[in-house]
Structure 1
Amino acid sequence: MLDIRNLDVHYRGIQALRGVDLTVKKGEIFALIGPNGAGKSSLVNALSGIVPSGGEILFEGEPLGRRPAHLRSRAGIIQVPEGRRVIAPLSVAENLELGRQAAGVRGSDAADLDRVHALFPVLKDRREQLSGSLSGGQQQMLAIGRALMGRPKVLMLDEPSLGLAPVIIKDVFRALVQLNREGMTILLVEQNARLALQTAHRAAVLEQGRIVHQGLASDLANDPVIADHYFGRAGMVA
């Protein structure tokens, strides 16, 4: 689904990513873990076209080149950003419609809305409520729902558990697993290493802009070096 080759990203003279090679297979959950400042958000922003990058990104076998962000989202690469970033003055329903329009989806939205409401019933109950008045967990559900309205082929999530209560984290990750069971490819950036490796099929560890470990998530979860470095720092969700 995604083939990333020798990816470099620079911010104002600082190199955030250095020669990253990564493959995300169709139908899998791929987790990217690492410390703050390792370059995880830079990677998903580069894939989304939000920041310029060097190297090559292939999507479904075709190079993205310099394709701008809005065309990448319309091709099916859709990101749920860190911090949720719902449009506070708009209602829940309007935020969901915005996700559909931004991705250029045509035709009826009934099936898409049914899918979102089945995953997150609270969004149906609060469809006329202003998004800025929702709790943090509800806003995260809305941000995911908004992305789903764009009919993504690859759903990328940047720190979806950040700032959420454990019970809400369980609900969010249960929804991600359900989406994957339905065939959706998911790229998950997550600082909670234990949770990420429990959820993903494969994973990579990013440190100082480089991939330092990569493989089956179960193998990385059982690696004592990774456990020593990351499990003690990440929040734990049973």
Structure 2
Amino acid sequence: MLTIENLSVSYKGIRALRGASLQVKKGEIFALIGPNGAGKSTLLNAASGIVPIAQGRIQLEGEVISGRAAHLIARSGLIQVPEGRRVIGPLTVAENLQLGRQASGVRGSDASDLDQVHSLFPILAERRNQLAGLLSGGQQQMLAIGRALMGRPRVLLLDEPSLGLAPVIIREVFDALIRLNKEGLTILLVEQNARLALETAANAAVIEQGRIVHQGEASALANDPVVADHYFGRATAA
């Protein structure tokens, strides 16, 4: 579904990505984990067209999308939920959802898409007329995901969806992602909580200093002593 080949990105002469490659299969959750500053968000932003790439190629279902403007990539079906949620605070919940639909260029009735979002996150239906800036952090994360879903993504990119959320809200958000995946949505997940990411995903990769250093089945990576020691602590690795 999504192929990233030999991707390199530089910021002011500093290489943020160094020949990163990965493949996300249709209908799977793929997790990308790694330390802060490793290049996780850069990879998502490069795939989304938000930052320019110095080298490499990105394909969505075999179609080359690298080099396109960000809004055209979104309209092709690759839609990102950014780190920090970035909902539009002065707009209502309903207006934020409509913005996600309009920005992605989806035409026709929005009834079924709204039904899906409200079914996943009933609080958004209850708060439809509330300003987004007045929502809690967890509710804003739900809104950010719902806004992306209104664009009917073929691949959903999520950047640190658990960041700053209470455990009970994290579980609710991840249960929604698992439900979406079971309904057929392909998801590329960047997540600080490595254990949760590997428990949720089918396949995964580890990125360090801009390079993919491990890749394979998520369960195998979770049981790899090197990965476990690095991301879960020595007690778990033992």
Same fold (TM over 0.5): yes
Structure 1 partner of 2:127: 126
Tell me how far apart the structure 2 counterparts of residues 40 and 149 of structure 1 sit (CA, whole Å): 25
Structure 2 partner of 1:26: 26
SS of the residue aligned with 2:30? strand
Following superposition of structure 1 onto structure 2, how do residues 133-152 of structure 1 map, counting pairs within 5 Å? Answer: 133-152=134-153
Structure 2 partner of 1:82: 83
Per the TM alignment, residue 226 of structure 1 is displaced from its structure 2 partner at its CA by 0.7
Following superposition of structure 1 onto structure 2, how do residues 27-176 of structure 1 map, counting pairs within 5 Å? Answer: 27-53=27-53, 54-176=55-177
Tell me how far apart the structure 2 counterparts of residues 126 and 232 of structure 1 sit (CA, whole Å): 40
SS of the residue aligned with 1:104? coil
Per the TM alignment, residue 220 of structure 1 is displaced from its structure 2 partner at its CA by 0.4
Tell me how far apart the structure 2 counterparts of residues 57 and 132 of structure 1 sit (CA, whole Å): 34
SS of the residue aligned with 2:231? helix
Tell me how far apart the structure 1 counterparts of residues 10 and 233 of structure 2 sit (CA, whole Å): 30
Per the TM alignment, residue 34 of structure 1 is displaced from its structure 2 partner at its CA by 0.2
Tell me how far apart the structure 2 counterparts of residues 185 and 5 of structure 1 sit (CA, whole Å): 18
**Which runs of 5 or more structure 1 residues have no equivalent in the other structure?**
234-238
Structure 1 runs, 4 residues or longer, greater than 2 Å off? none
Tell me how far apart the structure 2 counterparts of residues 211 and 66 of structure 1 sit (CA, whole Å): 22
**Which runs of 5 or more structure 2 residues have no equivalent in the other structure?**
none
Using the aligned pairs only, state the percent identity: 76
The two structures, once aligned, show a CA RMSD in angstroms of 0.9
Structure 2 partner of 1:183: 184
Tell me how far apart the structure 2 counterparts of residues 58 and 130 of structure 1 sit (CA, whole Å): 37
Tell me how far apart the structure 2 counterparts of residues 58 and 134 of structure 1 sit (CA, whole Å): 36
Tell me how far apart the structure 2 counterparts of residues 13 and 152 of structure 1 sit (CA, whole Å): 33
Tell me how far apart the structure 2 counterparts of residues 41 and 221 of structure 1 sit (CA, whole Å): 21
Contact 2:47-2:66 at 8 Å conserved across structures = no
Q: Which amino acid aligns with 2:150?
A: M
Structure 2 partner of 1:229: 230
